[in-house]
Chain A
Amino acid sequence: MYVAVKGGKKAIDAAHRLFADKRRGDRSVPAMTLEQIANQLSFAVDRVMSEGSLYDRELASLAIKQSAGDLIEAIFLIRAYRTTLPRFGASRPLETREMRVERRISASYKDMPGGQVLGPTFDYSHRLLDFTLAADGEVADPERPDEAMTAQLGHVAEILDREGLIEPVPADAENEQPPDLTREPLEFPAGRKLRLQNLARGDEGFLLAMGYSTQRGYARGHAFAGEIRMGEVEVEFFAEELGFNVPLGRVKLTECQMVTQFKGSSKVKPQFTRGYGLAFGQSERKAMSMALVDRALRWEEYGEELVAPAQDEEFVLSHSDNIQATGFVEHLKLPHYVDFQAELELVRKMRREIEERDEAESQEAAE
């Protein structure tokens, strides 16, 4: 037994070489390409882009490959890369009404202008393992909807809006620079814009659990999926030098508008209220959970009571980020023997004191 006084660097290098070997696996199996990941693991790529806050399918695919499929590790790689990128400014607000819809469903109406567009989805599939996939069976070409039909579908909430049955969308000051939680420390109260920004990059599992808790009575507000839509939206940037908006490209998004009943107050008549969710790619679970949590966090606006974790801004926003969470949880792996020695010394001292006291007492009793 020896006290290692040198050697950490060698051990770390060796550990990293072992990991690189494990990641590559059996050399007789072909290595995955980024194209394969981007095409065939699209939900993983979407999640990494969403929570990594960087829309780049190729880099997300690389991160997934590099992390051997550990998605939180992949998100971490993307975040660490993203933080080094220069900021040119903020885009114009996205017009999701102009989305080229691939999928658009509403649970609150049977039918509406534009109709229900199921698009590509797991929903309604039987969750039976498909052994033809294991055998790499051929996949038939799908029927595609007429593109003209799925462009510019009005939001379902507009139907309620025309009757004044739903709260209006808060007007935004023109050209107001949005806050950026990656450039300013988060302080409380944060307000809805920062909250949504935080939720948009928040962990899908955390938001799912928080959203789920609101359905089970912790800040219950019966929510309807007013609309979920997924498709490409154009991103525009206002160029000061030119004086007009310049298109930068398109991003695929999933947007969810939850519609929740509000009984009204002395000032406001009963109406429906909104919860909003938005995520890169096809990320319905994330967008829906986000919308539920967004609505729960707005309790103060409606004079509701703060009774549950999902409503608690400081609690939700401080714990939603999986990169912060995983780092701090996993840092327990780091050596802590200095603190542990301090605790050992304390526990021994406390035990010694109790033993001495007991001994003194038993001696007194004997006398």
Chain B
Amino acid sequence: MSDNMNQVNRDDRPPLRTQNVPGTVARQHAKKITEEAVKNSAASSGGNGEEQYSLNDDRRVKVLSPGAMVAKRFFRNRIAVVGLAILAFMFLFSFLGGVITPYQENQQFYREDVQHKDYAGVVKNEDFRYIVADGQELGNVLQAQVILAMQRGQDSFTYKDTDYLLTEEGPDLYRVSLSDGTTLGFAYKDIVSSSVEGAKLSFEFQSEALLAYTNGLTAFSAEGKDYTIDDTGVVSDGSNEVAFISRYVVQPVMADVFLTRAFQEELIVCLQEGKDVFTYTDESGVEAEYTITYRADLKTWTVLQETATRVYDTYSYPSKAHWLGTDRNGMDMLTRLMYGGRVSLIIGFIVEIISTVLGIILGGIAGYFGKWVDNLIMRIVDIFYCIPSMPLIIILGAAMDAMSVDPQLRMLYLMLILGFLGWPGMARLIRGQILSLREQEFMTATEALGISVSRRIFKHLVPNVIPQIIVSVSMGIGGTILTEATLSFLGLGVKFPFASWGNIINDVNNTFVLTTYWFIWIPAGLLLLLTVLAFNLVGDGLRDAFDPKMKR
């Protein structure tokens, strides 16, 4: 049918086949009362040491107590014992495991990772660039006119009633000047860059260097100094390298990086050779490897630097250090599972305690008093039964998300909500049993003895229902763990940084995790399945063990 109906079905579990139990237990109970009375009278008459048993005295025969009988029957049921063993393992795993494991619940692990970072971009300059003489202007429109004139092969052009001269000074180097001979600037393709970090090159220096370089000269002078140019384009003032000239523009991606001349030179050599890996050792002797990729559409080369970084060790495969690998946050999976089990089990128990206590009180009162009290409480039970709990919890969870409730507080709210929605089933069960129990003789006896009403309900009636309560609680814990896991899986229950088996499996929503990283979600799912199954098996075993009709 559906999840919701499934929930309902679970609550509408077949009535416990233990109708006879109250009878037997009640008889035992009645016997206890009489025994007490006998003991009291014996004490008053001052009974002396050795007692003579009469022939029909129960004490002559070895009689198993009801508890021992139940235990015997329970341990004869192999499946139930398996369930008990699984539960014992789960408790050890969750509560002791967290202590033994060397890691913390939220401890994140790192790994060294080689990352490719954009380091530099290289462009081969195919466009004319312009340098403008000091105090002159060479605007965009004029630049366009210059290009036009170049393409037409003209050596002069007119723009806005002014005549300009265009002189080819060398390959891809043009001088733009006014008709009176004043140089406005140069159009060039080879680029002069400073070798000294932060230094700015003057117009005169740039223009002289370009003139010399494009015409194949090895020396020039500018601003009263002499410079030499070698055939790779390095400009030096005799002793120091000042600048260099190249067709390639190498630009660092990050503004704070200065690319040295040597680096650029070697890089360009590599580019021209068509290599895609480039190794460079800088002045301090650190060797770094770079990957070069060429993008044809932009005519640019991208240089990626391979740097070792510390990153979170996410989704690492099972290894000696991490037996079940690590999760998406780089936390040890096995440790998370242990702590998750703790959360799941604690929530299961607390929720079941809340709903059982409420159920015992209300069911006990309803069953004992009957009439309008019973009617009123049972109608309340009907109302709570009818509330669609799963949708309601989802809405509350989403609201808590919107209000960003603290994860720890959220866990508390979750337990309270689940507990308050879970009591009607227990109340119905207890009320039904007590309705039949209160008609029995031992209740008349308690009335005759003048025991108070609350003692009569909670000391004499409720203990007779304990078998049913235990069975129901055992199965209820399984159900609660399942509900909590479903909510956490949907991201509406227990939240990070707390682990829960449900929110560990939540990662499976990422299809890549589903297909690739089995160790993230399968162990958690198996633990969850085994735990819930074990609670159900034990509950089933107890139900049979408490049933006196059972043949074995």
A binds B: no
